[in-house]
Amino acid sequence: MDLNLNGEGALVVGGAKGIGYCIAERFAKEGCNVVIWDVDPNVEESATKLAESTGVQTRGIIADATDHPRCEQLAKEHASESFSVQHVVYAAGAGSGKFGFPFWNLEPSDWPRIIEINLIGAVNITQAWIHHVKEHDSGSFGYITSVAGQIGSQTDPPYSAAKAALINWMQVVAKDIAEYGLRANCVSPGMVKTTINQSVWQSWYDQAADEERLDYDTWAESKIRSLTALGQWQTGDDIANAIVFLASNRARNMTGQTINVDGGWVLHS
């Protein structure tokens, strides 16, 4: 699909692998130059791979979104040294690694880092880039949230609460930037084979009785069938297609929205 993004620039935070890389790749295939920020030390290799496969300009930079001064510095450096950025996507995220049901099984120490990565990192990135994006006639901010942030998921309460807060933050951003012709939206994945999804299974597995334990694939397939209307996995490409569409002018009247790419999970909640 030609989304008329050719020659524009996109930043994908958390884009070295997984859903984030799929998003970076989709922007690149639409002709966007792409910069990837990630804590993953292989982020430069990911950017090089993307440039070789698509022919666009790319940059890969090791960056921690929870480090606000560093994010501000890197944004200023990029704005003065490289291609312009009209679209910013926050795809970084982390779970607690614990099975949170019931919630009193968690400790207070299980919360701060998860809030920091999933919410505060997104705030930092938005603040670091808003003045650069405002220089353009149009642009967008996209946030990868989760259906867990909409249904009060008991599996990982810190993650669920942080993603709910991220949806609310996106709505604040959408209101504040609308007068500049800019938009903000969220995409909420359902069941995607990511390290977070596997960590949810592992934390469940570790506390389950021996007779109740299932291997990851069996557990996941059972969960998909019971929770989603379509009964199928979502993929990184499914999420990427939605977030890049929302960045494009095809979605020029869509802002403040949370689009679920979840196979109908929320329908069953």
pLDDT for 202-236, tens place per residue? Answer: 776 777 788 788 787 877 777 778 778 888 888 99
**Least trusted range by pLDDT, from 3-12, 193-202, 248-257:** 193-202
For helices 216-227 and 195-207, angle between their N-to-C axes, nearest 10 degrees: 100
User: Residue 207 has what pLDDT?
Assistant: 76
User: Residue 1 has what pLDDT?
Assistant: 63
User: Residue 254 has what pLDDT?
Assistant: 98
Has residue 180 got a pLDDT over 80? yes
Q: Span 130-148, mean pLDDT?
A: 95
CB atoms near residue 202 (< 10 Å): 14
Inter-residue contact 184 to 256 (CB < 8 Å): yes
262 or 244, which is more confident: 244
pLDDT 10s digits, 64-82: 999 999 999 999 999 888 8
> How buried is residue 92: exposed, middle or buried, by Cβ count under 10 Å (0-12/13-18/19+)?
buried
Percent residues over pLDDT 70 in the chain: 97
Domain boundaries, the chain: 9-191+234-263
pLDDT 10s digits, 101-116: 788 888 999 899 999 9
Inter-residue contact 32 to 88 (CB < 8 Å): no
| DSSP code at position 228 | -
User: Is domain 9-191+234-263 given the CATH code 2.60.40.10 in the classification?
Assistant: no
What is the pLDDT confidence band of residue 100, given thresholds at 50, 70 and 90? low
Inter-residue contact 245 to 31 (CB < 8 Å): no
User: Residue 264 has what pLDDT?
Assistant: 86
What is the pLDDT confidence band of residue 263, given thresholds at 50, 70 and 90? confident
Handedness of CA 69, 74, 77, 79 (dihedral sign): negative
Average pLDDT, the chain: 91
Has residue 99 got a pLDDT over 80? no
Q: Span 235-259, mean pLDDT?
A: 97
Give dist(CA 146, CA 267) in Å, integer.
14
Percent residues over pLDDT 90 in the chain: 68
Has residue 244 got a pLDDT over 90? yes
> CA nearest 21: which of 158, 147, 144, 181?
144
